[in-house]
Structure formats: C-alpha cells, structure tokens
A and B are shown apart, each in its own frame.
Chain A
C-alpha cells in the first residue's frame, strides 16, 4: 500500500477520460435524448390537434347530415305535393273529358232523334194518306191535299 506515481497516473487518466466523456460521449447521447423528448412533445401536441380536428369534423358531419335530411324530406314533401297535384289534374282532365264525351254522345243522340223525327215526318204524310184512303176507300189526290197533310205532319 505504497503511495507512489500511480496516484498521478490515475489523476491524469481520470482527467483524460472525463474530457473524452465530456467531448464525445455525453453530448450526442444528451442531444438524442432531448430530441426524443421534443419529438414526443410534438407528437402529443399533434395528437391533441388531431383530436380537436376530428371533433370539428364530426360536428361538421352532423351538420351536413341534418342538412341533407332536411333537404331529403323537403324533396319528398314537394314530390308528394306534386303527385297530388298531378292526380288532381288528371282527375280534372278525366272529368272534362267525360263531360265532353257525354256531350258528344248527347248531341249524337239529339241528331239521331231529329233525323228519326225527320224521317217520321217524311213518312207520316204517306201513312196518313194510306190511312185516309183506307178510310175513305177512295183515292185522295196527294197534291190536292198537300197543304192539309203538311199541316198535319208539322203537328206531329
């Protein structure tokens, strides 16, 4: 256990090793550790920001969704209304058409009646004459009694 040069040998070695550690070992390790610390902090901040954005987006989606729903129901309502209108319109058209057809049929009937009347009128005189001939057993001159016959026909 002699105290000798080893004492200073160790002191010098100590100084050299501490210098080396301070120059080449400590700074890069510390730099990396600090950088990582910063990176983690940034990551957390980014996550926070992402969360906020996500919340905003969710709110926006909700808004858009309700808007779309509103629009859809509006469209459906309009369509319903329009459909009703169309049905009403169709009904109206059908009624008018029916009236028109009815009117046409009525006029046709009227015409037919008139025609039948005309025909009847045309034949009445003949029938009357024939009847009168039968009654009188003699021939009546048609031309002589024309005026009376026409009068008769017009009264039918």
Chain B
C-alpha cells in the first residue's frame, strides 16, 4: 500500500524497479538503492528478484515433475501423476503436431518453456503488494536495510532480461540446428539467395536477416509486453485502495475481474511462447 509520503508515481516506480545487485559507478559492488542507481550500474548488475523467482519456480516445477517421473506407475495413475501426464501429453501432442523432424530435445524443451513461463506468469496473480511488503519487512528486520530501498518484483516475465534470456537460448538453438542440418553454406544460402535470387543478394540478406532477428525479438517482447501491461494494470488497480472505501471496493472488484481475465493471458502467453519455439525450431530443421 502506498504510504503517506509516497506519491502514486513513486509507488508505481517502486513496483517497477528490480532488486538490483551490481557494480556501482565508483567500483563498489552492492545493492542499488534507487532506480537511478540501478540504471547507472549498466550491464554489470543482476536482478536478484527476477533470478530468484525464475530459478525458484523452475526448480519447483522440475522437482515436482521429477518426483512424479520417478514414481511413475504404468497402471492406474492417481493424483499428481494424472496432472503431470495431462501436461506432458498436451505438450507432446503440440510437438508432434508442429515439429516434423526427429529431435529428442524439442519436447522436453517445450515442456520446460510452457510450464516455467506459466509459473512465472502465475506470480502475476499474487496481489501486487504481498511479496514486496514481505520482502521490505524481511530486508528491514534482518538485513538492516531501509525499507524504501528494498525493491522486489515478483513476476520474472515482466523483466525483459528474463524473456530475452529465454528467447536468446531459443535463438541459439535455432542457429545451431540450422547450421547442423543445412550446413553453414545451406543456412547462408537461405539468407542470401531468397526471395530475389542471386542478383538481389543485399536485399535478400536484409530481408531474411530482419526476419531471422525478428523471431527471438518478437518472442521475447510479446511475452514481456503482455505481462508488463498486465502487471501495470494490477499496480494501477492497487492504487485505488488508498482512495477510501468507495474506490477501494471498486479496486477489489476490478482486481478480481482483471485477475480472472489474466488467467487466460498467462496460460495463453506460455502456450504461445512454447508453440512459436516449436515452430521456429521446426523451420530450422527444414530445407527450403
């Protein structure tokens, strides 16, 4: 909740700043105490909150799935195994539908992307103040930090570093398989000799280059944009709570409505990220 001395824009700013650990301009390493300081750190900084939630959620997902996988029974499945099988089957169907080549990496990759992105998106449904306030209390009580300097962004997919990080990995796989399947020459040929033939090589390179680069960029930006916008709306709705009982009630209704609608978005975005990854990798495996 926004406290008295905090303006609405401070509140929003606070919510949109990551807990950043990095190299201060003066050469010291430490947490950034403001958004300004975080920016000044430049590249040599890491978003502790994003990384923490990202890794925590992936570990949770893999821990649960691994436990189920170890205890898999061929006979009548029950409880969690049903759910896991349902998810795995869903992903497997999608991979088999969109990916024509044979590659043992793609299906587990898709499962990881789908469920991980889904879990990271799911953090968006946790009321926007709960975890940051908890983190502020924790930081102030145990680490002796100024609560106003404890930033805590809980939805990793609203951090472009996270979405671009994943898109980068997908892009690396695309390049790797393109070159592995078609050879360096084949891959270069695809970029250089289409669609205008040998004479139009510069134009071809430009067009195909843009289309190649746009794949990971659109992949990352789509997820980031959707979740960032959703998070922003949650924050704006949360601002209403400081406006008295009428505005607060309205805020409650809006938050519920937006959260219910957002369930669709978080699932859809996770699904889209997975399907596009499969499609891009399928294209990387195909000769044109």
Listed in ascending order, the chain A residues whose CB lies under 8 Å from chain B are: 1-11, 13-15, 17-18, 20-22, 24-26, 28-33, 35-36, 39
Contacts and interface: CB of A to CB of B under 8 A. Distances in A.
A135 B51 CA distance: 177
A7 B54 contact: no
Contacts of A35: 74
A25 B165 contact: no
A30 B165 contact: no
B138 interface: no
Interface in B76-129: 84-85, 88-89, 92, 104-105, 107-109, 111-112, 116
B43 A4 contact: yes
Q: Determine the main DSSP class of B at the interface with A.
A: helix
Contacts of B105: 18, 22
Given A6-B51, A14-B166, A18-B112, 20 more contacts: A2-B161, A3-B161, A4-B41, A4-B47, A6-B165, A7-B165, A11-B165, A11-B166, A13-B51, A13-B165, A15-B169, A20-B62, A21-B112, A25-B62, A25-B65, A25-B108, A26-B107, A26-B108, A29-B65, A29-B68
B274 interface: no
Contact of A6 (B47, B68, B85, B107): B47
Chain B interface size band reads: 35 or more
A30 B159 contact: no
Interface of B: 16, 18, 20, 22, 38-39, 41-47, 50-51, 54-55, 58, 62, 65-66, 68-70, 72-74, 84-85, 88-89, 92, 104-105, 107-109, 111-112, 116, 156, 159-162, 164-166, 168-169, 172
A130 B153 CA distance: 174
Contacts of A8: 165
25 contacts: A2-B45, A3-B160, A5-B45, A6-B47, A6-B51, A7-B161, A10-B54, A10-B161, A11-B168, A13-B54, A13-B165, A17-B116, A21-B65, A21-B111, A21-B112, A24-B69, A25-B65, A25-B69, A25-B108, A26-B107, A26-B108, A28-B70, A29-B69, A29-B88, A31-B72
